[in-house]
Structures are given as C-alpha cells and as structure tokens.
Amino acid sequence: MRMKLPEPDWDSVRKRIVGWLKDFFQRTGRVAVIGLSGGVDSAVTAALLSEALGPERVRALILPSASTPEKDVEDAKRVARLLGIEDVRVIDVEPALRAFDDLLKVDDRVVRGNTLARIRMTILYAVAHKDGIVVGTGDKSEFLLGYFTKCGDGCADVFPIGDLYKTWVRKLALHMGLPEDVALKPSSPRLWPGHLAEEELGFSYEVADVVLYNLVENGMRPQEIVERLGVDKEIVDRIIQRIKLNKHKLITPPIVKVTRRTAFEFVEEADALLT
C-alpha cells in the first residue's frame, strides 16, 4: 500500500466540532446522554461534549454485558473522571439480554449482539426522555462500511464524530490528551466474547480508511485504488460489497408514495411552509 491518509489540522477540527455542539445544545436546551464503553469513539465524543457543554451537562452511562471485559468498565470510569463527568451510571444489561434470549430463543451471535446494541439504545433514550439528547459515537469508517447495528448504536440524535475516519479518531484522541491505551485500543463492539472489529471485517481500519478516503474524498474508482495505491484487490472488493450491501442503513427508509408529498418530504421544507 503506497498511500497514507492525509490529516487535517486537529486543533481546527476540534474547535469546529466543539463550536457546532455548543450551538446545537444551546438551541435545544438539553443535556447530552452518551454510552461510555471504554473504547476510543465514545471517549473522544465524550471529550468533545465536555469541552463544548461543560462536563456537568454530560450524562454518561456505562452498560456492560457478560461480554464486556472488566478493563473496559475501568477505562470508561477513568475517561469520565479525567473529563470531570460526575453523572456516571453503571447498569448491567445482561438481565435484559437474557430476557430477550428467553423470548426469542435464537442461537445466533450476531442477532444476539444486535439485540444487545438495541438494548443500550433503549436505555439511552429512556434516560434522555425528559431533558436529554442521545449522542451517537459512530465514525465515518463505521458508517460507510455499515459496521454498526441498525436502530442500535446507529440510532441517536446527533453524531459529533460521524465525519471522521476511524484512524483520525485515534489521532484526535491523542491530540485531546486522552489516555494512550484508550486511544490505541483495538476497536471492538464486544457483542460476543472475544469479538474484535478487524477480525470480523477481515481487514484493518488502516487499510480500509485509505480505500474509503480515496473513494469518498478523491472520487477514485475501485480499480484505480488497486492499481495506483497497491491495495489488495480482494480487500477493495470486500469494502465495495459492504458499502453496497449496507447502503440501506444510511438512507431514510423509503415510503410508498400515494399522495403528492410524503410526510418526510413535507417536513424537509417545513420551515418555509409553516411560517
């Protein structure tokens, strides 16, 4: 592989996201509600929120299951402490997952893992209902690859780092002074014991980001990426397949149209139409 990902100026990126969040939360008047996993995405998102709103307006939930290593819980607590977030709740989600096991009787680790992600989403929305905004932690690489649970971690009210590639998120974490072991921790959804993102995907984020960056930011064609950048064709193919297969996760669900304008279309223009 001949190309590295270019890097933006981290101070400008940080200021841009922090400024945007300040404005967004000021307009809504609500606090931030975030699931803190001990992984890099939620750590960086929590750091940006703390800087933008002040840690007293950030509510962190640590939601371990039986497949969550104890070290992750400790790391999540350490990150919260470091950022000055005091409203930290630990809720064991294993009983809820077991209840779904009993109801569904499905023996498929992906289905069970997605249920786990959706249980976490349900808890975040319950906690946010009165005065909060659920903050998602998805990054651009995960979005493009469809590497998230639809209506699970993919469901939130705002995504502060959603336009940053995964390898960039690690750099931003270091830039923001987060602990190195968290910033560089191998990415893992922990949906089952021993679950690691790069193992399941079959490629590293380092390679994936080069492919994704050149597809999205430089408009390169897949074949050019193989020929000019020397990325393994099999990996490029696998990434393209994932993008195509998971496109449905990034678009508004289609409505079968009967009238002139659907509800979705109406509210898109609502500001102009309702004054």
Ligand X SMILES: Nc1ncnc2c1ncn2[C@@H]1O[C@H](COP(=O)(O)OP(=O)(O)OP(=O)(O)O)[C@@H](O)[C@H]1O
Ligand Y SMILES: Nc1ncnc2c1ncn2[C@@H]1O[C@H](COP(=O)(O)OP(=O)(O)OC[C@H]2O[C@@H]([n+]3cccc(C(=O)O)c3)[C@H](O)[C@@H]2O)[C@@H](O)[C@H]1O
* 6 φψ region: left (φ > 0), alpha (ψ -120 to 50), beta (else): beta
167 lines the binding site for ligand X (CB under 6 A): no
Binders in 28-57 for ligand X, by CB under 6 A:
34-37, 39-42
Range in contact with ligand Y (rule: CB under 6 A) among 9-17, 94-102, 140-148, 178-186? 140-148
Task: Tell me how far apart the alpha carbons of residues 86 and 177 are, in angstroms, rounded to a whole number.
Answer: 19
At residue 136's C-alpha, the angle toward residues 134 and 137, to 5°, is 145
**HEC readout, 219-272:** CCCHHHHHHHHCCCHHHHHHHHHHHHHCHHHCCCCCCCCCCCCCHHHHHHCHHH
Q: In which element (H, E) is residue 87 found?
A: strand 87-90
137 is in an annotated binding site: yes
**110 touches ligand Y (CB under 6 A):** yes
d(CA 168, CA 161): 10
* 120: partner contacted, choices ligand Y, ligand X, Mg ion, none (Cβ within 5-8 A by kind): ligand X
Site for Mg ion in 38-57 (CB under 5 A): 39
d(CA 166, CA 169): 5
d(CA 171, CA 274): 44
Q: How many residues bind ligand X, per CB under 6 A?
A: 20
State yes or no: residue 64 binds ligand X (CB under 6 A): yes
Name the one range near ligand Y by CB under 6 A: 86-94, 112-120, 126-134, 233-241: 112-120
One of 115, 149, 167, 214 touching ligand Y (CB under 6 A): 149
Q: Is 257 annotated as a binding residue?
A: no
Fill in the per-residue mask, 103 to 122: x = in contact with Mg ion (CB under 5 A), - = not in contact.
Answer: --------------------
Binding site for ligand X (CB under 6 A): 34-37, 39-42, 61-64, 68, 120, 137, 153, 187-190
**Residue numbering of the annotated binding site for Mg(2+):** 41, 142
